Chains A and B, each alone.
Chain A
Amino acid sequence: MNEIFRYILMIVIMLFTLTTIAAWLIWLERRMLALWQDRYGPNRAGPFGLLIVAADTIKLFFKEDWIPPFADKVIFVIAPTIVAAAVLMSFVVVPFAPGILVSDLNVGLLFFLAMSSLGVYSIVLGGWASNNKYSLLGALRGASQMISYEVFMGLSLMGVVMLSGSFRLTDIVLAQKDYWFVFTQPVGFVLFLIAGIAETHRLPFDIPEAESELVAGFHSEYSGMKFGMFFIGEYLGITLVSAMVVTVFFGGWLGPSFLPPLVWFALKTFVFILLFILLRASLPRPRYDQLMEYGWKIILPIALLNLLITGAVALLMY
């Protein structure tokens, strides 16, 4: 009974923390974008514009929640929840610190990949159910982009699995006691980061949205809290990919002992969230066909080659 209570407590705390983080990331992103682009950013509501989050939330809640009459109503309502649910499910296997995780599955890394592959449905169904040309185009782009980059995401992680000999995320973290995997798997890290950006369809790879060509892409017809769900899903996705990068390539909670493990984990994750925002602030969006060509003609061969070399080295060394 005690064990079950501990799990439930952990889940509730995690849910609360993550949604709060996702909400504050809106403020962080807008401030940092402004900083890097020499603007002020939101600075009126509260100290440093911090209350912009509250203002945004209130606005989203009180907006008219409009379902277009030509939409497929049930799927239109379900679609935004899928992405948030899938991302939150992935956090089940993320080890924040020793003991601070919900489930230590022996196939944790695969669980993360499975959940991130389910996130595609949100875009596809949202775009289809909207019954709008721009949404449909966004959905098609999103589906092909995310399916393609899922492949590279899986392949880029397999090198780490070979070196650590386990799919269990705590084992992967503990295998980095002497050196982080980013040093032995630099190619895998870069590929995972690129695939992670494409999976969360963030700028520069926000091709399903592409507001300059497709109005707002797959969520053109969404408003109110349904749009907010997509929004929160995106920020949760950033947090998740940053947390996974830290867990798999940067030693997770490991660090010099003057700070507790959880703080190390949070600090490292924060750095990668900032990197995501910096990428958004600085890089232009590629064309859709360029993105696909880049994926299949450059990233796939590199990922396979990386896997081959890692396998050969692992075979010779161990």
Chain B
Amino acid sequence: MDIAFYITAAVTLISTVMVITRHNPVHALLYLVISLLSLAMIFFLLGAAFAALLEIIIYAGAIMVLFIFVIMLLNLGEETAAQEKKWLKASVWTGPAIMAGILLFEFYYLISSSDAVLYNEPNIGPRPVALSLFREYLIGVELAAMLLMAAVVGAAHIGRHKKVVLHRFLKEKEMS
């Protein structure tokens, strides 16, 4: 079990680093998909199969496809790759890397000093997840639903446009 965890964690870390360092946006997104899949695998190893599958269905299966969809439409060519290459200079990433390193060290210290158990509950089924979602955290779920509803209404409003009549006889009438 431990070996499986370390392998998956290594895959997650490597693929996440690859997301940042790739110059081609589609390749970067593919590494992000791998990263999400391996994250789901970690959830699975920790016993949260339900969360793992939701991660795959929602993030890897739907949201990432939409990301790739948009990037395909933008048709970014060599120029963007060159620009990315320019942006990814050492002077740009050293600052954030040092900060992240400090955080990582702190995280390591907190984990090693506390007696947190890694694998506590083996295999949490969908039922307890549903119960905690719709009992304890009901208000959070409702608020998230409202937020999503607002986003959908906003998207529908932005996407709305007047119907343009393209017929050559009706065009004049539309213009006047």
**Interfacial residues, chain A to chain B (CB-CB below 8 A):** 72, 75, 105-107, 110-111, 113-114, 117-118, 120-121, 124-125, 127-128, 136, 139-140, 143-144, 147, 150, 154, 167
Q: Which of B53, B69, B125 meets A144, CB within 8 Å?
A: B69
Is A75 a contact of B30 with CB atoms below 8 Å?
yes
Q: Which of B26, B33, B57 meets A128, CB within 8 Å?
A: B26
In the complex, what distance in Å separates the CA atom of A167 from the CA atom of B127? 10
In the complex, what distance in Å separates the CA atom of A72 from the CA atom of B65? 18
Nearest opposing residue in chain B for A116, CB measure: B61
Is A107 a contact of B68 with CB atoms below 8 Å?
no
In the complex, what residues of B have CB within 8 A of residue A127's CB? 72
Is B56 a contact of A140 with CB atoms below 8 Å?
no
In the complex, what distance in Å separates the CA atom of A154 from the CA atom of B56? 14
CB distance from A142 to the nearest CB of B (A): 10
Is B61 a contact of A117 with CB atoms below 8 Å?
yes
CB distance from A67 to the nearest CB of B (A): 17
Is A150 a contact of B61 with CB atoms below 8 Å?
yes
Is B26 a contact of A114 with CB atoms below 8 Å?
no
Is B49 a contact of A114 with CB atoms below 8 Å?
no
CB distance from A175 to the nearest CB of B (A): 16
**Interfacial residues, chain B to chain A (CB-CB below 8 A):** 26-27, 30, 33, 49-50, 53-54, 56-57, 60-62, 65-66, 68-69, 72-73, 123, 125-126
Is A140 a contact of B57 with CB atoms below 8 Å?
no
Q: Which of A114, A118, A128, A147 meets B72, CB within 8 Å?
A: A128
Q: Which of A75, A107, A125 meets B49, CB within 8 Å?
A: A107
CB distance from B45 to the nearest CB of A (A): 14
Q: List 7 A-B contacts (CB under 8 A).
A: A105-B49, A107-B50, A110-B54, A114-B56, A117-B60, A118-B60, A167-B126
Nearest opposing residue in chain A for B66, CB measure: A147
Given contacts A106-B123, A110-B57, is CB(A124)–CB(B50) below 8 Å? no
Is B57 a contact of A107 with CB atoms below 8 Å?
no
In the complex, what residues of A have CB within 8 A of residue B69's CB? 124, 140, 143-144
Q: Which of A107, A114, A121 meets B65, CB within 8 Å?
A: A121
In the complex, what distance in Å separates the CA atom of A113 from the CA atom of B27? 25
Q: Which of B61, B69, B72 has the most CB of A within 10 A?
A: B61
Is A128 a contact of B54 with CB atoms below 8 Å?
no
Is A107 a contact of B56 with CB atoms below 8 Å?
no
Is A147 a contact of B62 with CB atoms below 8 Å?
yes
In the complex, what residues of A have CB within 8 A of residue B54's CB? 110
Is B53 a contact of A110 with CB atoms below 8 Å?
yes
Is A117 a contact of B62 with CB atoms below 8 Å?
yes
Beyond the given pairs A114-B53, A121-B68, 11 more chain A to chain B contacts, judged by CB atoms under 8 angstroms and listed by A's residue number, are A105-B49, A107-B53, A113-B53, A114-B60, A117-B56, A117-B60, A124-B65, A124-B69, A124-B72, A125-B26, A144-B69
Is A114 a contact of B57 with CB atoms below 8 Å?
yes
| Nearest 8 pairs of A and B residues by beta carbon | A117-B61, A114-B56, A110-B53, A114-B57, A106-B125, A114-B53, A107-B49, A128-B72
Is B126 a contact of A124 with CB atoms below 8 Å?
no
Is A124 a contact of B73 with CB atoms below 8 Å?
no
In the complex, what distance in Å separates the CA atom of A118 from the CA atom of B65? 9
In the complex, what residues of B have CB within 8 A of residue A75's CB? 26-27, 30
In the complex, what distance in Å separates the CA atom of A110 from the CA atom of B126? 10
Q: Which of A110, A114, A128, A167 has the most CB of B within 10 A?
A: A114
Is A124 a contact of B60 with CB atoms below 8 Å?
no
In the complex, what distance in Å separates the CA atom of A128 from the CA atom of B76? 12
Nearest opposing residue in chain B for A74, CB measure: B27
CB distance from B161 to the nearest CB of A (A): 15
Is A110 a contact of B62 with CB atoms below 8 Å?
no
